[in-house]
Amino acid sequence: MEVKSIEVIEIKIKLEEIGPRDGFQNVKEFIPTDIKLKIIDGIVSAGYKKIEITSLVSPKAIPQMRDAQEVIKSCLKRYPDVELFALVPNLYGARTAVELGLKEVCPVISLSETHNKANVNKTVEESLRQIKEIKETFPKLKLTIDIATAFACPFEGEMKLEDLIALIQKLYDMGIRSFMLCDTIGKAYPKQVEKVFRTVKSEFKDCTFGAHIHDTRNMGILNTYIAIENGADSIQTSLGGLGGCPFAPGASGNTSSEDLVYALNQDGYDTGIDFDKLLEVAKYEKSVIEGNYSGHHINIESDICKR
């Protein structure tokens, strides 16, 4: 019997590396700036074209980010062809980003009122006013809104889809067209992820929606695939699976960049990422961070990071 070959069609998917911000923020011992930059060098060398390099927050809140301005200045000089962005908590952070030369920032707002208060010490309405102020003050600055607890909250449980749509609508009315839906504590499940992405892509056709999935229950890869298959425009992961919200009890690490890149590359997706180079960076990261990290242990074997 003749066996017919199956044509593999490569599908492009935009991957964003967020380890230098979300991955590092929970590391207790300060990571020297030159080490951070060496890891970012490796991430760029592996092929990433969009990287969250730091957050412009108070060093009192996140001591690990006290060298944020130095990291931004160095990265802008080193990587002119890479999309670099940072998390900002307020107008002051956005102003600093603009002054340093960043073209994109990510203000964060929680769908959950309780988590928003714990995370940024503001009500959701106060955060909305703050985002509006940033948008009006810096109209040329690209804003991608990180919507935390978009799927579930450690305090309020599973979130309602209609509430997510209502929040996106308020941001849409301000002129926001780029969103990152965050599974802050890793409680999302496949049917929920499918429904959320199908709905937001249908309701807001001129917007982009990314997925930021945590791997608390070892469902990061699965839920990420579901998001991709249901229209996610971009995917955020963290080198070594590091990360987790410090203000969300039970939050675990992010989906591992190496694991996802391996899976997508094997499945015929065009990620643009060299897995072998990425794995080497992950091994280096483990060698300089393991023992100081307060969240997931980085377990790297000979050919792939497993979590």
State the helix-helix crossing angle for 257-266 and 220-229, rounded to 10 degrees.
50
- Answer whether residue 307 is part of any domain: no
- Answer whether residue 305 is part of any domain: no
Whole-number Å distance between alpha carbons of 168 and 165? 5
At 292, give phi and psi (nearest 5°). Answer: -105, -5
In the chain, how many domains are there? Answer: 1
- Answer whether residue 271 is part of any domain: yes
User: 0.85 cut: is pTM over it?
Assistant: yes
CA separation, residue 192 to residues 52, 161, 165, 207 (Å): 26, 9, 14, 20
Out of 75, 182, 245, 305, which one is annotated catalytic? Answer: 245
- What mean pLDDT is reported for the chain? 90
What does the pLDDT read at residue 253?
A: 79
Per the structure block, which two tokens stand in for 182?
Answer: 């965050």
Whole-number Å distance between alpha carbons of 105 and 103? 7
One digit per residue, the tens of pLDDT, for the chain of length 307 reads 454 544 445 688 999 999 999 999 888 899 999 999 999 999 999 999 999 999 999 998 899 999 999 999 999 999 999 999 999 999 999 999 999 999 999 999 999 999 999 988 999 999 999 999 999 999 999 999 999 999 999 999 999 999 999 999 999 999 999 999 999 999 999 999 999 999 999 999 999 999 999 998 889 999 999 999 999 999 999 999 987 655 555 556 799 999 999 999 999 999 999 999 999 999 999 999 865 443 443 444 433 332 2
- Answer whether residue 300 is part of any domain: no
- Answer whether residue 306 is part of any domain: no
245 in active site: yes
Q: Residue 276, exposed/middle/buried by CB under 10 A (0-12, 13-18, 19+)?
A: exposed
**Residue that the structure tokens 């900002």 belong to:** 88
- Answer whether residue 37 is part of any domain: yes
* 247-300 residue pLDDT tens: 555 556 799 999 999 999 999 999 999 999 999 999 999 999 865 443 443 444
Domain that holds residue 198: 11-289
- Answer whether residue 4 is part of any domain: no
Q: What is the CATH number of the domain that holds 124?
A: 3.20.20.70
- Answer whether residue 130 is part of any domain: yes
Secondary structure of 34-54 in the HEC alphabet? HHHHHHHHHHHHHCCCEEEEE
